[in-house]
Chains A and B, each alone.
Chain A
C-alpha cells in the first residue's frame, strides 16, 4: 500500500494549488492534427504513463500534450528542459520512448521522475487533465453547484450502504 507521507524530498508545493489563471477546458479536446510530431508523441506517452486512466483514449493524451507543448513554447527555458527530458527518455533505450511497451515506459519514467522536466509536466499535467469537465464526469465530480442551489437537494446525504450499526443510518 502506498504511504505518501514517507516520501522524502521537497516538492514545489505551491504548484499543488490551483494555478492563478484558469485555463479554458474546451481546448483540451483532441485537435485533428494530420501527423503528430515525435515531440508530441513522446509528451503524450509521458502523460499517459504518469496519469494512466483506462477510460481516457490516446486522442485525449495527445490533446493534453499539444496544449502543454504550446504553453511551454512561450518559455524557452521550460521548453529546453522538456526537450532535455525527452532526449533522456528517447536516448537511453532501443526505441523512442513513445514506442516502448507501457511496462518499460514506467521503469524509464521511474528513473527520471525527480528531474525538473517531469515534475513540471506532472504539476501542469494534473491541472490540464483534472480540470477538464469530461474527466470530472468520468470520475464522478460534479463541480460548481451554486447555480443549482447547491447539493442540498442533489444528494449531499444520499449515502445508502453504511451499516445500520453505526447509528448513522
Chain B
C-alpha cells in the first residue's frame, strides 16, 4: 500500500475519484507521476453492492445539505454520489459522444437570447482520438470492436414504436457495460439496478477499474473519507497544498499541482470558498464565472401501459437509444436536440414520481399494470445561462462547517420548447403500438448531469479554464470534471469527461517534462 508523506510536495493531488478524478489520477500514475487522490466518501467493497435501491441510495448518495432556488427541489437539487467511484457508481453507463455541431454551438445555433453559447475551444477533430481512447478504456459497446449489448424487452418496445414513427437511428446504444468478458470483469447479467451500483462489476466504475489499476503502479494513494476544504497558495501564487478534514482532523497535504474533480457543485464550492487577497471572488475566479453557466440536461419521462407484458425492470436501465431527434433542426422550434432512451422504475420510485402529479386511481391504475409498462427517458441540450449559477449560502453551514451550496436554475425557453416537443415525440412512440395509457412525467428526478461552472476557453475574461482545463489564474490548478464544458450538448457527459481527463493527463505529463509543473 503506497503512502505518501504530507510534506511530499512532488505529489499530484486529485480531488474526487469519479469519472474525471479516477481517470486522471490513474493516467498520471501510469505515466510515472505520484498521485494522492482525496475522496470525500467511503470506499465500498463489491459485497456492499446489493440489488436494493433504497439501501444503495443511502450508501452512494451525496446527502450533505444543499439548497436551491428556482426550479430544482429546494432540498435535493442534484443527485450526485459521495463514495469512491463518485457518480460512476450511479451512472447508467451511456457513452454517446458530443456531435460536432454541438461543439460548435454558437456557430450552429446562432445568438440564442439570454444564453452564453460559445463554440468549444477544443475542436471535434481534436477530441476525436481522445474519444477513441476513452471508448477503449471503458469498453464501450458498439465501438472499437466491442459488440452491442443484446436487445431486451423495454428496448424492443421502444424500437418497434420508434420505427413505426419513422425513426431509424436506433440500437442498444454505446454503453460502458461489458457485452463480453473484458478487463477482468464479467459481461452484463441484466440485473437491472444499474443506478444502484453494478453488483457484478460489468458496468465501468472507477471503484473497480481505474483505482485498483492506479494502486498497482505503486504511485497512487487513495484517501477516502477526506473532505477537502482548502487549497493553499504559496507566495508565488501557485498551489502549494490542499487541506482536508479526515475523521474530524484537519490535514494538509503538500502538492506539486492540484486537479479538482468534485462534480460541479463541490468543485464550485471549493473554489468559491477559497477566496483570498489575491483571489477576492474565490480561487481562479477573476472572470467572475466560477459557478455561473450551470447546465443540466432535462430528463423527462414517458411511460406507456402497453397491450402486453414488458417487464421493464428485467434489464439495464438504459437499454437502448433513438438518436433521430439529436440533430439541430430549427424547424422544430428550438435549437439543439435530444436523445430518447429507455428507463425502468421500481414500483416504489414510479409511485413516488407519480405522486408528484396526483394520487388515487390515476396512480394505482398504472401501478396495477406495472408488468405492462414500457418507459423512456428523454434527455436534451440545455443552453448556458449566466443567471443559472451555484453560490455559497452566506450563513448556512453543513456538517463540515462549510457554507451550504445554493443552486439556482431555471429552464431556458429553448429548453421548455424542446421538452414540449420531446413529450409529444415520446407519446407518439408508445401510441403507435396501441398503448392503453401514456403518462408524461416531468423532470422531477434531480439533475445528475452537471456542467459548465468553470468553462474552458481561450479568453481568461470569458472563461475559467484553458482548453486543457488549467485555470487561467493559477498555473498549477486544474479542473477535471463536467464544470469544464462550455456547452452541454444533447447527450450524457461522462464519456466526454473521461476523454478530456485523458487529454489533460497527457498535457500535464508534457508540462512536467518541459519543467513547467
Contact = CB atoms under 8 A, between A and B. Distances in A.
A167 B348 CA distance: 33
Given A4-B357, A12-B73, A16-B356, A144 B156 contact: no
A10 B73 contact: yes
A152 interface: yes
Given A127-B348, A131-B348, A17 B200 contact: no
B349 A18 contact: yes
Nearest to B202: A150
B251 to A, nearest CB: 28
B300 A18 contact: no
B364 interface: yes
B364 A22 contact: no
Nearest to B355: A122
Interface string B292-323: 00000000100000011111011100000000
Nearest to A9: B356
Contact of B76 (A17, A122, A127, A129): A17
Contacts of A95: none
Contacts of B157: 159, 162
Contacts of A154: 314
Interface stretch (A35-43, A44-52, A81-89): A44-52
A2 B163 contact: no
Nearest to B350: A130
Interface residues of A, number: 67
A75 interface: no
Interface in A35-78: 49-55
Contacts, number: 231
B356 A4 contact: yes
Given A18-B349, A20-B63, A140-B370, A152 B188 contact: yes
B400 interface: no
Nearest to B307: A161
A109 B363 CA distance: 15
B307 A152 contact: no
B85 to A, nearest CB: 18
A5 B357 contact: yes
Nearest to B352: A16
Contacts of A156: 152-153, 190, 311, 314-315
B346 interface: yes
B415 to A, nearest CB: 13
B401 to A, nearest CB: 22
Given A2-B357, A18-B348, A157-B150, A144 B190 contact: no
B439 A4 contact: yes
B438 interface: yes
A122 to B, nearest CB: 5
A19 interface: yes
Contacts of A140: 309, 311, 370-371
B398 interface: no
A14 interface: yes
Given A4-B440, A20-B57, A159-B153, A150 B191 contact: yes
Contact of B360 (A11, A14, A52, A147): A52
Given A156-B190, A157-B153, A142 B347 contact: no
B237 to A, nearest CB: 41
Contacts of B460: none
Contacts of A122: 355, 359
B356 A22 contact: no
A33 interface: no
Interface string B148-162: 001111001101110
Contact of A14 (B73, B362, B370): B73
B156 A146 contact: no
Pick from A2, A4, A21, A142 the residue with the most CB of B within 10 Å: A4
Contacts of B348: 18, 126-127, 130-131
A167 B151 CA distance: 12
A114 to B, nearest CB: 11
B164 A52 contact: no
A150 B50 contact: no
Contact of B423 (A5, A11, A126, A147): A5
Contacts of A147: 51
Contacts of A123: 352, 355
A13 B76 contact: yes
Interface of B: 50-55, 57-58, 61, 63, 73-76, 79, 150-153, 156-157, 159-161, 163-164, 188-193, 199-200, 300, 307-311, 313-315, 346-364, 367-368, 370-371, 423, 433, 437-442, 444-446
Given A52-B361, A130-B350, A163-B160, 10 more contacts: A14-B76, A22-B55, A52-B364, A109-B359, A145-B314, A146-B189, A147-B51, A157-B150, A166-B156, A166-B161
16 contacts: A5-B300, A15-B352, A17-B79, A20-B58, A109-B359, A130-B346, A140-B370, A141-B371, A144-B50, A146-B189, A146-B193, A149-B189, A158-B153, A159-B157, A162-B308, A166-B160
User: Which 7 interchain pairs have the tightest Cβ spacing?
Assistant: A4-B357, A166-B160, A150-B189, A140-B371, A18-B54, A161-B308, A13-B73
